[in-house]
Amino acid sequence: MAPIKREVAGTPRQSCLGRSDWSGEFEAQVTESRTPIGWVRHLKVKRHDGREGIGWDVLQSIKNELLGPDALAIEFYPPAHNVVDETNMRHLWEVPTDLLPFGLHTR
């Protein structure tokens, strides 16, 4: 799913790029938002049954399929006063690979 080119004046701040029923157990949605660093894709993943428990390996596979295997995505944990916890959903944001000056590297 390639990002949509966004250079037209009046473009909305966020748009939905698609939804996917992933392996019958998870629902995934990709949106794109305008941010200070440009357009960023946001991957939202939840279980169909609403329960907790989406493993790292599952998130990585869904990220690879919907954002691409070379996409760098992050999940962050905000200060307590900014927490929104309304549903059991995981959020990943794609960031430019050169944006983060740290990470896990293989040699």
* Interval 59-88: pLDDT, tens: 999 999 999 999 999 998 889 998 888 788
d(CA 15, CA 41): 9
Query: Among 51, 106, 34, 42, which residue's Cα sits nearest to residue 71?
Result: 42
d(CA 95, CA 107): 22
Which parts of 1-107 are beta strand (E)? 14-22, 26-35, 38-47, 72-74, 89-95
Q: Are 62 and 22 in contact (CB under 8 A)?
A: yes
pTM for this model (two decimals): 0.75
Whole-number pLDDT of residue 3: 41
Classified by CATH at the fold level, domain 14-95 comes out as Immunoglobulin-like (2.60.40)
Length of the chain: 107
For residue range 32-65, list pLDDT tens digits in order. 988 888 889 999 999 988 888 899 999 999 999 9
